[in-house]
A and B are shown apart, each in its own frame.
Chain A
Amino acid sequence: MADPAAIAIRNLTKIFPVPFRKEKVTAVEDLSLEVQPGQIYGLLGPNGSGKSTTMKVVLGLVSPTSGSTEIFGRSSLHVESREAVGFLPENPYFYKFLTGSETLHFFGRLCGLSGPRLAARSRELLALVGLETAANRRVGSYSKGMLQRIGLAQALIQDPRLLVLDEPTAGVDPAGSREIRDLLLQFKQRGITVLLCSHLLGQVQEVCDRIGILHQGRLVSEGPLESLVSVEDQTECLLRNASPELLRSIQAQAAAAGAEVIQIRKPQTTLERHFLKVTHGVSRDASTQPSPQHADVHAP
């Protein structure tokens, strides 16, 4: 038998009753999709399209009205299905009375970790998300970006095979969200599956292998990223040190072969890249001083 899908959602419908009203809210309607192990899957959609609800059903936090969901072949209705999953909810909050380090210890103990192994793990994760300097501060004093970081660390505590991230870069500045993106690519290399939901399309396009687009609870488009965004009848070609004569001759050759040169222009750097260059790519949330860890961010 083939390996089970990391996430399998079959004909999922979720209808919320509205208290004191007759009509109901259909958050998700007849949704079916699979996330294969090792993929980064991007679930897109406008606000209120049912992304968070889908994730909550997958994690067993909300029960489906009909249909079923599985994680690595185990039904979401069973607690064991959550063994190998890390979840970062939308706008996460944690116990305000705990410090960052205590927060990771708490979640680690919930996952069956303890002793020096847990201590080492939580130190490693605090470094990974750039919160070493804030490790002993109360979470109540964290900024929004720091909450996302501690949330990501908490999701990773038991070294899960699947990460479910609900808008992980909401409220995070560009350098921070680039770091999160780099982390996601790193997880992918290690074979960790990621289900990501966001409405920041640019970011999703940079990391996701496969995309599903939800609109009013229905899946309106789904497939590998390239097949969704490539323009089938066009080809791009980047040249360095091309002389005007060369460009003219290319245009002539194209015309002779019956093709059309639509546009010739200088490639533009992205605003994000420019922003990172002039701010040295360092997020204040991560640490108070630029550290060598962030050196890779300077690279164009």
Chain B
Amino acid sequence: MPTSTPLDPSVPVRHRWFSPARLLAIASNTLLELVRQKVFYFLLLFALLSIGSSLLVVQFTFQQQFQVLKDVSLGAMSIFSWLLAVLATAQLLPRDLEDRTLYTILAKPVPRFEYLLGKLGGVLLLLALSLALMSALFAGVLAWREQTQLALIQAATPPEDLEAAVQALRASTFTPSLGLAILTIFLRAAICASLTLLISSFATSSIFTVIVSVIAYIIGHIQPVARDYWLHSLPAGQGVSPLVQVFLGFVALFFPDFQLFNLVDEAAAGNTIPFPLFAQTSALGLGYAMVYTFLAYLFFSQKEL
């Protein structure tokens, strides 16, 4: 029988209340878990959509072609990243609880907030990686269509107009706003992931978590419209009761106004995203993500395993 030797005592292992190495260990393990579940197969679907959409509309003008390509690609990126955020996050805690892997992890000197942040970090890594891959695919298709159009223009345009035509072409393909739009998509997915984490910290099943998370997303989308309707389109003299006002205020506070993230559509439509607006939206999004994560920690720290 082999014997176990003590670890070299000259290298002491000191407990720290927060350790980036532990956090990274949990995050990368979570990413590995998701990757080994073969989630990246969805990229094939994305490639199909992106390439397909650009081939279906070849008879349009190049502006229209690029328009469709951007609409479809950015739209698909939004949906896929949202689905990934909700579905991947919803199963993390229930699975660790069910398989009792959580016991062994938390019986190590791992603070609960670190575990939670690590799990969320793993999902964010997954989202960043998938968005990076989708962006690369999208950029590849866009560059390919640009080259095709360039060849057509060079063949068909008189030399004196060529420069202007090429510039018009370039202006309708790669723009800085596209980059900002992709960052915005990531941010929105990050909010949804942290919201889902919050729900799963008290939910009893992952199905429940997914359903509530989807409902919250829908509420986030329609609440500004609904609020406007209630507060402003009632007949004059018929005031809104204070109770309804408090309720609407609470809803507005707790659910982010996802309409703000419509700047993705602006970029797809070829408009420029003003940087201050982007910065403002990012700050708001980060704020929401942080508050959701903190609330998730409050629930999780009380949880009996």
Residues in A lying within 8 Å of B, measured CB to CB: 16, 56, 59-63, 79-80, 82-83, 85, 87, 89, 91-98, 106-107, 109-114, 117, 121, 124-125, 127-128, 151, 154, 156, 158-159, 164, 179, 182-183, 186-187, 190, 293-294, 296
Contacts of B2 in A (CB 8 A): 124, 127-128, 293
Q: Please name 26 pairs of A and B residues whose Cβ atoms are closer than 8 Å in the assembled complex, sorted by A.
A: A56-B103, A60-B106, A79-B109, A80-B15, A80-B109, A82-B108, A83-B15, A85-B107, A87-B107, A89-B100, A89-B104, A95-B33, A95-B101, A96-B99, A97-B32, A98-B29, A106-B29, A107-B108, A110-B26, A112-B15, A112-B22, A114-B21, A117-B11, A124-B2, A128-B3, A154-B104
Q: A92 is contacted by which of B3, B21, B100 (Cβ under 8 Å)?
A: B100
Given A97-B32, A113-B13, also A79-B110 (CB < 8 A): yes
Q: Smallest Cβ distance from A151 to chain B, in angstroms?
A: 7
| Chain A residues, CB < 8 A from B36 | 97
User: Given that A91-B100, A94-B101 are known contacts, is A59 also in contact with B7, CB under 8 Å in the complex?
Assistant: no
**Complex contact A156–B109 (CB within 8 A):** no
Shortest beta-carbon distance from A90 to chain B in Å: 8
Residue of B nearest to A60 (CB): B106
Residues B13-51 near A (CB distance < 8 A): 13-17, 19, 21-22, 24-26, 29, 32-33, 36-37
Residues of A within 8 A of B25 (CB): 106, 109-110
In the complex, A91→B25 CA distance in Å?
24
Contact of B103 among A79, A87, A117, A296 (CB under 8 A): A87
Q: Is B4 an interface residue (CB 8 A)?
A: yes
Of the candidates A62, A98, A154, the one whose C-beta lies within 8 Å of that of B305 is A62
Known: A89-B100, A94-B101, A121-B7. 20 other contacts (CB 8 A): A56-B103, A61-B106, A61-B107, A61-B305, A63-B304, A82-B107, A83-B109, A89-B103, A97-B37, A110-B22, A110-B109, A110-B110, A111-B13, A112-B21, A124-B4, A128-B2, A159-B6, A164-B107, A186-B4, A190-B4
Shortest Cβ distance from B11 into A: residue: A117
Query: Which 9 residue pairs across A and B have the least CB separation, nearest first?
Result: A109-B25, A87-B107, A159-B7, A97-B36, A93-B99, A110-B108, A61-B305, A89-B103, A112-B13
The closest CB in chain A to the CB of B36 belongs to A97
CB-defined contacts of B8 to chain A, threshold 8 Å? 117
Chain B contacts with A in 67-97, Cβ cutoff 8 A: none
Counting CB contacts under 8 A, is B220 at the interface?
no
The answer on a CB contact under 8 Å between B29 and A56 is: no
Which residues does chain B contribute within 8 Å of A179, judged by CB atoms? Answer: 1
Query: How distant is B48 from chain A, measured CB to nearest CB, in Å?
Result: 27
B: contact size bracket: 35 or more
Say yes or no: is B111 at the interface (Cβ < 8 Å to chain A): yes
Secondary structure class of chain B's binding surface, majority of residues? loop
Picked from B6, B19, B104, the residue with its CB within 8 Å of the CB of A94 is B104
A151 / chain B contacts, CB cutoff of 8 Å: 104
- State the Cβ distance, A280 to closest chain B Cβ, in Å: 15
Alpha-carbon gap, A16 to B19, bound state (A): 33
A190–B1 CA distance with the chains assembled, in angstroms: 16
| B5 in the interface (beta carbon within 8 A) | yes
Residues on A with C-beta less than 8 A from B101 are 93-95
B105 proximal to A (CB < 8 A): yes
Residues of B within 8 A of A97 (CB): 32-33, 36-37
Contacts A80-B109, A109-B22; A87 near B4 (Cβ below 8 A):
no
A183–B1 CA distance with the chains assembled, in angstroms: 9
Q: In the complex the two chains form, what is the Cα distance from A109 to B105 in whole Å?
A: 11
Point out the residues of chain A lying under 8 angstroms from B3, CB to CB: 128, 186
Chain A residues whose CB sits within 8 angstroms of the CB of B21 once the complex forms? 109, 112, 114
A98 cross-chain contacts in B, Cβ below 8 A? 29, 32
